[in-house]
Amino acid sequence: MPVPEPHATGLLVKLIAVGVCRSDHNLLTNENQPAWFQDKFTLGHEGCGRIVGLGSKVPPSAGYKVGDVIALLAVPGCGSQACEECAADLAQLCTKAHRSGIGNDGFYASHCVIDMRGAVHVPEGVSPSQAAVATDAVTTAYHAIHRRGKVTSKDTVFLFGLGGLGFNALQVIRAIGARVLVSDVKQENLNDAAKIGVSKADIVPVGKSIRDWVDENGWSDKISIVADFVGTEQTFSDAQHIGMLNDRRFDQSSHRCSSSSG
């Protein structure tokens, strides 16, 4: 791949770390891509790299200089208040701006250009690999729990699924200070949840009916939010069942990644 030229408000970045997302597989195999996708583009939408060049209109006040290590947000949007999606704080749905690795050239290359709106300085103590996946796998889970679910420390959350996104959701919920009950079909994922401090009493044994477990343990009127990071018919209907039991705040979020679905 040739080294691209930064546009006026773009940063030229030499990549250090790039995550692999399940969406990459979807992008490779889906035959019905949106019309605004380029015919050919480089994949990779979770990136971290070092700034090696600045566009002509990146102001010093933006705080970016050659040598800085930045995390790269693949879908920062165009930022215009005249843009329906960006004005509604849904930049990931904006089709006017460059979408790195999702229809436009992304991060599986030696260099990329990112608009300064999509750059975030990586704090000390965070590795480039961690920073790269934080832009998608972590952010998606964070938005589901914090913004859609509005989880607070007073909540008791039932969490379906401890895969790539679900396990991040678990850590976000615990960081908020809410109690979390977890379910997964893989014992090793439940063991990992126990390792980070989820008590045995809050883990549904593999194979146990969710409805029975919730009823038998007296959780039916205590669960305030259900977060579904699996998105199958079974978990969705179990989630609705819990929601109807207590008739309280109920939200669901799918495991699809923010960059492709919002």
Beta carbon nearer to Zn ion, 98 or 179: 98
Beta carbon nearer to Zn ion, 249 or 256: 256
Beta carbon nearer to Zn ion, 86 or 190: 86
Residue type, 197: G
- The DSSP symbol for 176 reads H
Residue 97 to residues 78, 90, 93, 118, 121: CA-CA distances in angstroms? 5, 12, 10, 11, 21
- Sequence-distant (≥ 6) Cβ neighbours of residue 72 within 8 angstroms: 13, 46, 47, 48, 49, 100, 107, 112, 114, 118, 119, 132, 135
Q: How far is the CB of 93 from Zn ion (least distance, A)?
A: 8
Q: How far is the CB of 84 from Zn ion (least distance, A)?
A: 8
Residue 53 φ/ψ, nearest 5 degrees: -165, 150
Instruction: Give me 117's structure tokens.
Output: 């709106």
Whole-angstrom distance, CA of residue 181 vs CA of residue 42: 39
Beta carbon nearer to Zn ion, 49 or 77: 77
Beta carbon nearer to Zn ion, 21 or 226: 21
Beta carbon nearer to Zn ion, 82 or 201: 82
Q: How far is the CB of 128 from Zn ion (least distance, A)?
A: 17
Q: How far is the CB of 144 from Zn ion (least distance, A)?
A: 14
Whole-angstrom distance, CA of residue 76 vs CA of residue 117: 6
**157 closest CA partner among 183, 134, 194:** 183
Q: How far is the CB of 64 from Zn ion (least distance, A)?
A: 21
Q: 3-state DSSP call for residue 230?
A: coil
Under a CB-based contact definition with an 8 Å cutoff, are residues 128 and 14 in contact? no
**77 closest CA partner among 213, 210, 220, 259:** 259
Whole-angstrom distance, CA of residue 58 vs CA of residue 43: 26
Q: How far is the CB of 165 from Zn ion (least distance, A)?
A: 9
Whole-angstrom distance, CA of residue 186 vs CA of residue 144: 22
Q: Which residues bind Zn ion (CB under 5 A)?
A: 21, 23, 77-78, 83, 86, 94, 96, 136, 257
Beta carbon nearer to Zn ion, 21 or 223: 21
Q: How far is the CB of 45 from Zn ion (least distance, A)?
A: 6
